[in-house]
């Protein structure tokens, strides 16, 4: 370390490269970071507390807004947790549709990551291509759920609606198109000299450190640990599909980049299998205590009408017990800890957000690197502040 | 094609300063890169190829508030973030406009909680409110067009940043004379 | 005290307690439609049926007392099926108008349907539609929503002792009829106990949904009883009055004024400033001006004709403390004993 005083530099919360409202206070010795302290809470919206005042069904839109870059993946976490609490088994077709939506959301999240990450490091072109393909997923979301970014397509006990012919067509088109687009990203970045110089050997974290820091998802797999909840604790029919867990070796920015690029391909593979083998059947369980009756019978049957009113005014009742359920979100292990108290509202909802652990690993990732590399490292762990602050 | 074809030979264009200034301001509304939450993603989508905000002269997203004219408050403003939003707004040079993008920035939206500011208009003046959670990129473009419409109908000496008594005092009568 | 077992839970209750009450005390919820805490057992809905000592013939728990050593089962498969059959009988002709029903959202019938998970009860219109015979200017009877639970009739007889309405019981065609129209005071007791939307209030109809309202606890201002009210508030306007069975001196009862006399709260004609009459016309004035003028007039009358030329009359809407202050003012400041209260008139 060179002699002389260190200077303290504040990045954020309004900084174009911190991906939201993350604030990092870095202490610099020349250009070398000697200390980094992340400050969070600038997007604290009280989602966990709000969920206590809403019924189980109403809290689904809140989960969309946790990791808003890949909304459906959060729906998957929340809904499967509530279903575990209530002891519901979702129909196979709904499980497959959920897998399709969650994997599309994962691709969406990775699109945002690759676009902004490359933009921060100086490769501006990638974001245009990434968002071109992201729009295709947005169209698919809109086709089936009516909403682009935060579809809220999941429901307790299934999904909101059955597929439309256009949905299947659009998903197939996307599955056919995307490998070519992915090849395009590779062409732009993977062997790009500037890109490799900016990312190789930057921000490495060993497998042991990554596990100790609680990292999950692509950031952990970049360090060589093949841990993926989709494989380790399969949920929602993930064990039906054939896919691999990509892992890196060194755990630096470039390895995390390669892992996510390979996840693109694996997600497409899962979507392809799911859409081609989509089982027939209902898309939601038919339970008078949980799911809405269909609108035709509501107009001819008083008991269905009454049930609809109670479901809308009070909501489904959860049992008096507690569960923890985790799914593989786009950023890592997204867990929901729910405590039911026998009413329509959860007594407590705790979100185990992967981004919180990623952000808390920032101090050890940043120290020893140049200030310019801080941007590459923050980009490579891919934090979303909605999930950190909740 | 455009106006230049009509200008063959020696010509003179007559307009009021008001119109000229408003015309140039309305077609170069530079937004500040300021994403807070989910709406920021739709703002990014708006600025990129599919929706192409540069058709409206607003593709130049400036990271520095000093260089921008438009603050798009894209997302939930928490009470911890509110002072920073206010500071960014204060740092922007006049003339400046504000779009409250999405339900959260307009009124708190679904987050009626202890931690969230119930509408950014509690701390800074807002010109256009966009409904939606988040609004579609088309909605943001519609909001931008509303801002442009507003700019075009503005009267220079009635803007909030107009300070009578300084240089304008001597210039305003001249504007009247030209007209 | 008698001891018994309900759903394998040991209970011990005073003699004479019904099975339903004992179960509720033990935290076991038995669905009911006609039972109401303030009313004597009616036994018309057959929802609260239970099995005693494994006997396959179920009995109504609301009017069977607990006996020593009884073994009660409240939720068996057979009971559930029987309840569903009974409920479907009720639902058969129940009007399909939850979307416009004021009760929807806090309706006991809806809750029981939801709880029993009935999903198939197709609506059949009546051959001879019922005609609404009972109605007042404040209460409306919707005959197609009525499930003939008889809570209203029992409340009118047992709580108020009026007996204005009765059931014309003729099987499926039964409905509420008026026994003596002059007896009905529109107290709304029937409306409060109604488990469905068969009796609704005319003033608050279509003004708000139960799940959108705020309930504000307050005390009635009409007289000295101090009944506890819950004002239904939506968008800062009072849109109705209800009350709670467990609260205050009234325990769920209200009179016609307390239940229906709330519209003055948001009335446009309410005075917001004092008015002073000058040359036969009122003009708006400030409080200081009005009080000065009143004090000056009182002093001059007292000087001219003596203190006994002034009399004071207070309103029952004032609190006791205000009334005390008023008589103190009349006696000590004005100097007269001419003070009275509207409740004595």
Any idea what the CATH number is for the domain that residue A99 is in? 1.10.645.10
Q: Tell me C195's DSSP state.
A: S
Q: pLDDT band at residue A16, thresholds of 50, 70 and 90?
A: low
**Which tens digit of pLDDT belongs to each residue from C12-53?**
888 888 888 889 888 888 998 888 888 888 888 888 888 888
Would A379 be classed as within a structural domain?
yes
Q: Would you call A43 helix, strand, or coil by DSSP?
A: coil
Would A1 be classed as within a structural domain?
no
Check CB contact of C264 with chain A, cutoff 8 Å.
Answer: no
> What domain count does chain A have?
1
Would B159 be classed as within a structural domain?
no
Mean pLDDT (chain B, rounded) = 81
Cross-chain Cβ contact C104/A313 below 8 Å: yes
Would A2 be classed as within a structural domain?
no
Cross-chain Cβ contact C121/A305 below 8 Å: no
Q: ipTM of the predicted structure?
A: 0.84
**Which tens digit of pLDDT belongs to each residue from C144-174?**
888 888 888 898 888 888 888 888 776 666 7
CATH number at residue B70: 3.40.50.12280
Interface size between A and B, measured as CB pairs under 8 A: 91
The pLDDT assigned to B178 comes to: 44
Would A154 be classed as within a structural domain?
yes
Given a contact cutoff of 8 angstroms between Cβ atoms, the answer to whether C123 and C96 are in contact is: yes
Q: Tell me C28's DSSP state.
A: P
How do beta strands A333-340 and A322-328 pair? antiparallel
Interface residues of chain A, partner chain B, Cβ below 8 Å:
13-16, 20-21, 41-47, 49-50, 61-62, 65, 68-69, 112, 115-116, 127-128, 131-132, 134-135, 138, 148-150, 385-386, 389
Cross-chain Cβ contact A128/B88 below 8 Å: no
Could you list the residue range(s) of the whole structural domain that residue A60 is in? 7-388
Which two three-digit tokens encode residue C49? 């049926």
Q: Minimal Cα–Cα distance from C57 to chain A, Å?
A: 26
The pLDDT assigned to A18 comes to: 66
Cross-chain Cβ contact C96/A302 below 8 Å: yes
The pLDDT assigned to C170 comes to: 65
Long-range pairs for A206-213: beta carbons < 8 A, 24 or more residues apart: A206/A251, A207/A251, A209/A364, A210/A251, A210/A361, A213/A357, A213/A360, A213/A361, A213/A364
Set of chain C residues whose Cβ sits within 8 Å of the Cβ of A57: none
pTM value is: 0.79
Would A302 be classed as within a structural domain?
yes
List Cβ neighbours of A360 (8 Å cut-off, separation of 6 or more): A38, A213, A214
The pLDDT assigned to C291 comes to: 92
Q: pLDDT band at residue B175, thresholds of 50, 70 and 90?
A: very low
Q: Minimal Cα–Cα distance from C212 to chain A, Å?
A: 9
Which two three-digit tokens encode residue B46? 């708006």
Residue among A152, A167, A187, A178 at smallest CA distance from A75:
A152
Set of chain A residues whose Cβ sits within 8 Å of the Cβ of C123: 300-302
For chain C, domains (ranges, CATH) are 2-91 (3.10.20.740), 213-266 (2.20.25.90), 271-305 (no CATH), 307-345 (no CATH)
Q: What is the mean pLDDT of residues C109-124?
A: 86
Set of chain B residues whose Cβ sits within 8 Å of the Cβ of A21: 36, 81, 84
Would A137 be classed as within a structural domain?
yes
Cross-chain Cβ contact A42/B84 below 8 Å: yes
Set of chain B residues whose Cβ sits within 8 Å of the Cβ of A42: 78, 80-81, 84
**Which tens digit of pLDDT belongs to each residue from B120-145?**
888 888 889 998 888 989 999 999 99
Cβ within 8 Å of A, B 53-82: 63, 75-76, 78, 80-81
Residue B128 phi, psi dihedral angles, 5° rounding? -130, 130
Q: What is the mean pLDDT of residues C116-133?
A: 81
Would B22 be classed as within a structural domain?
no
The pLDDT assigned to B172 comes to: 45
Q: Which of B31, B40, B41 to mutate to test the interface with A (most CBs of A within 10 A)?
A: B41
Set of chain B residues whose Cβ sits within 8 Å of the Cβ of A41: 78, 80
Q: What is the mean pLDDT of residues C263-269?
A: 86
Could you list the residue range(s) of the whole structural domain that residue B85 is in? 31-153
> What domain count does chain B have?
1
How far is the C-alpha of C139 from the C-alpha of C146, rounded, in Å? 14
Mean pLDDT (chain C, rounded) = 86
Q: Would you call A369 helix, strand, or coil by DSSP?
A: coil
Burial class (CB in 10 A: 0-12, 13-18, 19+), B137: buried
The pLDDT assigned to B169 comes to: 44
**Which tens digit of pLDDT belongs to each residue from A28-70?**
888 888 888 988 888 888 888 888 888 888 889 998 888 888 8
Would B18 be classed as within a structural domain?
no
State which residue of chain A sits closest to B33, comparing Cα positions. A16
Burial class (CB in 10 A: 0-12, 13-18, 19+), C170: exposed
Would A87 be classed as within a structural domain?
yes
Would A17 be classed as within a structural domain?
yes
Q: Minimal Cα–Cα distance from B29 to chain A, Å?
A: 19
Given a contact cutoff of 8 angstroms between Cβ atoms, the answer to whether B99 and B127 are in contact is: yes
**Which tens digit of pLDDT belongs to each residue from A258-267?**
999 999 999 9
Instruction: State yes or no: pLDDT of A84 exceeds 70.
Output: yes
């Amino acid at each position: 370390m060179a002699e002389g005083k260190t200077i303290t530099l504040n990045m954020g919360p309004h900084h174009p490269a911190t991906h939201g409202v993350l604030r990092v206070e870095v202490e610099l010795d020349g250009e070398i970071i000697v200390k980094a302290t992340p400050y969070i809470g600038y997007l604290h919206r009280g989602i966990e507390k709000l969920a206590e005042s809403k019924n189980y069904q109403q809290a689904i839109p809140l989960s969309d807004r946790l990791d808003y870059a890949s909304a459906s993946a959060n729906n998957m976490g929340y809904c499967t947790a509530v279903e575990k609490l209530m002891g519901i088994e979702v129909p196979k077709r709904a499980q497959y549709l959920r897998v399709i939506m969650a994997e599309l959301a994962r691709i969406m999240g990775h699109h945002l990551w690759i676009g902004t990450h490359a933009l921060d490091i100086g490769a501006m072109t990638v974001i245009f291509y990434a968002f071109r393909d992201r729009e295709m997923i947005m169209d698919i979301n809109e086709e089936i759920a009516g909403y682009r970014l935060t579809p809220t397509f999941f429901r307790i006990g299934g999904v909101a609606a059955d597929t439309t012919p256009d949905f299947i067509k659009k998903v197939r088109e996307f599955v056919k198109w995307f490998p070519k687009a992915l090849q395009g990203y590779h062409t732009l970045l993977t062997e790009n000299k500037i890109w490799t110089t900016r990312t190789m050997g930057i921000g490495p974290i060993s497998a042991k450190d990554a596990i100790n820091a609680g990292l999950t998802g692509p950031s952990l797999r970049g360090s060589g640990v093949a841990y993926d909840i989709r494989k380790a604790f399969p949920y929602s029919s993930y064990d039906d599909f054939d896919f691999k867990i990509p892992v890196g070796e060194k755990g630096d920015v470039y390895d995390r980049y390669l892992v996510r690029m390979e996840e693109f391909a694996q997600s497409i593979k899962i979507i392809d299998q799911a859409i081609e083998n989509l089982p027939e059947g209902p898309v939601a369980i038919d339970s008078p205590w949980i799911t809405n009756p269909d609108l035709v019978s509501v107009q001819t049957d008083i008991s269905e009408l009454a049930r609809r009113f109670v479901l809308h005014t009070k909501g489904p009742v959860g049992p008096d017990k507690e569960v923890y359920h985790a799914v593989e979100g786009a950023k890592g292990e997204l867990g929901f800890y729910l405590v039911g108290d026998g009413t329509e509202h959860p007594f407590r909802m705790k979100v185990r957000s992967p981004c919180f652990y990623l952000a808390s690993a920032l101090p050890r990732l940043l120290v020893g690197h140049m200030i310019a590399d801080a941007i590459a490292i923050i980009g490579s762990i891919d934090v979303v502040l909605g999930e950190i602050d909740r | 094609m455009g106006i230049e074809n009509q200008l063959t030979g020696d010509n003179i264009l007559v307009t009021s300063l008001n119109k000229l200034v408003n015309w140039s301001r309305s077609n170069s509304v530079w937004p500040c890169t300021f994403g807070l939450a989910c709406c920021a993603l739709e703002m990014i989508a708006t600025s990129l190829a599919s929706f192409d905000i540069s058709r409206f002269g607003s593709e130049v997203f400036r990271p520095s508030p000093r260089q921008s004219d438009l603050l798009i408050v894209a997302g939930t403003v928490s009470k911890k973030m509110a002072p920073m939003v206010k500071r960014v707004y204060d740092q922007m040079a006049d003339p400046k406009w504000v779009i409250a993008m999405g339900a959260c920035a307009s009124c708190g939206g679904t987050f009626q909680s202890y931690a969230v500011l119930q509408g950014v208009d509690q701390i800074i003046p807002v010109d256009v409110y966009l409904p939606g959670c988040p609004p579609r990129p088309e909605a943001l473009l519609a909001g931008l067009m509303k801002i442009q419409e507003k700019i075009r109908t503005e009267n220079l000496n009635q803007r909030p940043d107009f300070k009578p008594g300084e240089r304008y005092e001597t210039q305003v009568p001249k504007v009247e004379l030209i007209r | 005290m008698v001891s018994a077992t309900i759903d394998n839970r040991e209970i011990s209750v005073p003699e004479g307690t019904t099975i339903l009450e004992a179960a509720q005390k033990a935290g076991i919820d038995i669905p009911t439609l006609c039972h109401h805490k303030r009313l004597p057992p009616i036994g018309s809905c057959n929802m609260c049926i239970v099995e005693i000592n494994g006997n396959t013939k179920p009995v109504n728990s609301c009017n069977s007392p607990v006996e020593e050593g009884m073994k009660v089962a409240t939720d068996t498969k057979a009971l559930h099926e029987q309840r569903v059959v009974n409920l479907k009988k009720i639902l058969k002709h129940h009007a399909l108008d939850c979307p416009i029903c004021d009760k929807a959202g806090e309706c006991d019938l809806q809750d029981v349907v939801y709880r029993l998970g009935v999903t198939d009860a197709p609506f059949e219109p009546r051959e001879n539609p019922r005609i609404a015979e009972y109605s007042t200017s404040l209460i409306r009877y919707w005959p197609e929503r009525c499930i003939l639970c008889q809570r209203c009739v029992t409340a009118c007889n047992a709580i108020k002792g009026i007996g204005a309405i009765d059931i014309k019981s003729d099987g499926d065609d039964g409905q509420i009829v008026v026994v003596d129209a002059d007896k009905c005071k529109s107290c709304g007791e029937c409306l409060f106990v109604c488990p469905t939307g068969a009796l609704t209030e005319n003033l608050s109809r279509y003004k708000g949904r139960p799940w959108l309202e705020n309930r504000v606890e307050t005390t009635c201002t009409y007289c000295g009883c101090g009944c506890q009210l819950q004002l239904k508030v939506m968008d800062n306007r009072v849109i109705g009055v209800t009350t709670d069975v467990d609260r205050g001196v009234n325990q769920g009862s209200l009179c016609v004024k307390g239940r229906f006399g709330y519209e003055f709260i948001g009335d446009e004609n309410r005075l917001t400033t004092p008015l002073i009459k000058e040359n036969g016309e009122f003009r708006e004035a400030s409080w200081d001006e009005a009080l000065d003028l009143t004090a000056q007039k009182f002093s001059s009358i007292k000087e001219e004709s003596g203190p006994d030329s002034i009399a004071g009359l207070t309103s029952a809407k004032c609190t006791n403390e205000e009334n005390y202050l008023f008589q103190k003012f009349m006696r000590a400041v004005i100097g007269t004993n001419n003070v009275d209260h509207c409740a004595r008139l």
